[in-house]
Structure 1
């Protein structure tokens, strides 16, 4: 996929401006707007949806610190974790009971001694690893952020609406790359089908 400069230029093109940058650090007004918003918008769009390319399973070791939350154990998260989707205990089972775990800052608190594993959305800085669908959503959201700074507020609103559409599309496309979720039979099915 494209590098930072190309992605910035795609956003500028989406805003219908003829301005382009040669580097995000070139010092022009447009490049400064791109540099200002790059990390924030990247992390925001990554966090909005569990994109396949940035959803990882990570082991979290117990910290020796005195727990601050009741009798819970504290397990550390790495700095690249943007959002925790779910937590698995040492037995490999998903911890999904209400209140079974809680994220506080860079830690997960739970009653398990560990190690635990988190399914997390992680920061991916290497743009060559980004999926094409993510690139489309990122460019639209990035254009909506830099647009007002370069006099393209009206086009920025249009780009934000496009971004919302692209997130909806991503949910459809990404869901096609996984097995359907297991459906547990309800009382009616059990009573009528045995």
Structure 2
């Protein structure tokens, strides 16, 4: 399986450059740009698509003291990128539905889920940092998204960044279609590419 550095070098190859890096922290323009965007792009892609490798089902642990309007308080998973499903006994909440019967909030130092139930099970997108756990489909989508993120800063070619953003969208949709167990939330592929443009990946940023 590829390592972080391999993924960075695959992204560089998408730019048509011969440059490679030996480590993400080395003192080179390529490594600095990859290191700048690597974790952000990885986490966003893992949160947008319901990948098998980072889908976790976990009973939440009671923790903290709830506000007076709620009876129970549960620790929110620290590695949760997106909550996809909550099961409260006989009732279920799915991502995209209005929040009913619960509240997710911070006490200033940690995040909690407040509700009136004595048992809660969560299904969520977990932050996975070990590339050995990435599926081939995720890796290819990550490479294309990362390439789009670093393209303008390294090549100064806005049109290349735009082409790579479109390629990233195609790759995400293809990865989802390849697996019946993976689902793309409606509109998320487009939102991923829009976020690329908003952050200046298209060359609009100085």
TM-score class normalised by the smaller sequence: 0.7 to 0.9
Q: Which residue of 2 aligns with 1:94?
A: 92
Establish whether residue 75 from structure 1 lines up as the match of residue 74 from structure 2: yes
Is the contact between residue 55 and residue 119 of structure 1 (CA under 8 Å) also seen in structure 2?
Answer: yes
Contact 1:21 1:31 in 2 (8 A): yes
The match for 1:57 is 57
Change (3 A) 1:92 1:169: farther
1:161 corresponds to which of 147, 166, 172: 166
Which residue number in structure 1 is paired with residue 145 of structure 2? 141
- Count of residues in correspondence between the two structures: 174
Which 4+ runs in 1 deviate beyond 6 A? Answer: none
Tell me which residue corresponds to 1:46: 46
Deviations 1:74-108 (A, max 9, x none): 2112211110001012x375346851334335322
* Aligned with 2:177 (options 155, 165, 172): 172
Q: 1:190 aligns to what?
A: none
Task: Tell me, in whole angstroms, the C-alpha distance in 2 between the residues paired with 1:72 and 1:141.
Answer: 43
Which consecutive residues of structure 2, in runs of 5 or more, have no partner in the other structure? Answer: 183-206
Instruction: Name the SS of the counterpart of 2:50 in structure 1.
Output: coil
Instruction: Give the alignment's TM-score, normalised by structure 2.
Output: 0.77
**Structure 2 match to 1:104:** 105
Q: Which has the larger radius of gyration?
A: 1
User: C-alpha distance in 2, partners of 1:92/1:6?
Assistant: 46
Aligned-pair distance for 1:67?
Answer: 2.0
CA shift, 1:40, in A, is 0.7
Q: What TM-score do you get using the length of structure 1 for normalisation?
A: 0.81
Contact in 2 for aligned 1:74/1:110 (Cα 8 Å): yes
Hey, what's the Cα distance between the residues in 1 that align with 2:24 and 2:64?
Answer: 42
Q: Which runs of 5+ in 1 are unaligned?
A: 179-194
